[in-house]
Amino acid sequence: MSLSIFFEKRNLFSVIKNSLKSYILNKNSSSGPEILLSSLINGLKRKKINFEINQIKENTKKVLFIDDKKNLKKLINLKLKIFIGPNIMTMPNDDIIFKSKKIHKIIVPSKWIKNKYLKQTNKKIGKIEIWYSGVDEKIWTPNKKIKKKLDFLIYKKFTYDKKIFADVENYLKFKNKSYKILQYGKYSRKEYLELLRLSKALIFLSQSESQGISNFEAWSCNVPTLIYNPGYWIYKNKRYTSNSCPYLSSETGIYFKNFEDFKKKYITFRQKKFSPRSWIKNKGTIKFSTEKLIKILNLE
């Protein structure tokens, strides 16, 4: 049974024609959707699953539209099992096509994304499956030969609270801790890997994350994370419960809600021992995520 995978063609050259390892390490972008796509293709190849890219063949029975709404609309009436996600929409009410009864399953990267879809549609939406992308634990590895020179690596993304960045940085200065700031979208994958290997911990500052692939990469390098998690996200003037790191666990790190909470959790974080790479090996590898996707798509 053949599977066809559709995604926007802007990603084709990077993911298909380049080597995946080169792409992951040298891409001058921290785009979660592109990283997800490369991991998905890599995983299916390892499992020897036959699939087509952006085309329908005579033997095609199932189609996964990762982020390609244009082709979803063109092909929605074909007698095929249609799966969409996890990067095809922000919210289901943005386009009537997302609530079509011809869609077999909707794939989302985490529980809070599922909940916001259900809330916006009053549960009038198709079956939703949760699936997240894994990371290559053989690439994202700690290097014991490299001395950890940085107490913290600060990963800076968008937040509603514009003071949180300066407050955290000033607190680290007050504590006389060494740190480096990494701005989302302004680094290569290789640079991120090198910085993770130099860092004892990661402070992640983002309003919300559908999965948080950058945290998976940190955990794979055995770097625990201190996560800013304000707990809400606003879309078209409506407030939704959100999460800045949906897969955080006691093995991988700690949340903080605001700066006052940060000062408390900072102490707890410094005292606690974590095992983030163990979590990745058990639940966050490409192999693990691919096996889950195969079950969702019923490709076994």
pLDDT digits (tens, 9 = 90+) for 265-288: 999 999 999 999 999 999 999 999
DSSP state, residue 221 = T
For 261-283, give the DSSP string. HHHHHHHHHHH----HHHHHHHH
Pairing label, strands 232-235, 238-241:
antiparallel
pLDDT digits (tens, 9 = 90+) for 84-114: 999 999 999 999 999 999 999 999 999 999 9
Contacts of 22 (CB under 8 A, 6+ apart): none
DSSP state, residue 27 = -
Q: What is the pLDDT of residue 228?
A: 98
pLDDT digits (tens, 9 = 90+) for 48-95: 999 999 999 999 999 999 999 999 999 999 999 999 999 999 999 999
Domains delineated in the chain? 2-134+285-296 (3.40.50), 152-281 (3.40.50.2000)
pLDDT digits (tens, 9 = 90+) for 174-198: 999 999 999 998 888 899 999 999 9
Token duo for residue 162: 């514009």
CB 88 within 8 A of CB 33: no
CA distance 183 to 185: 6
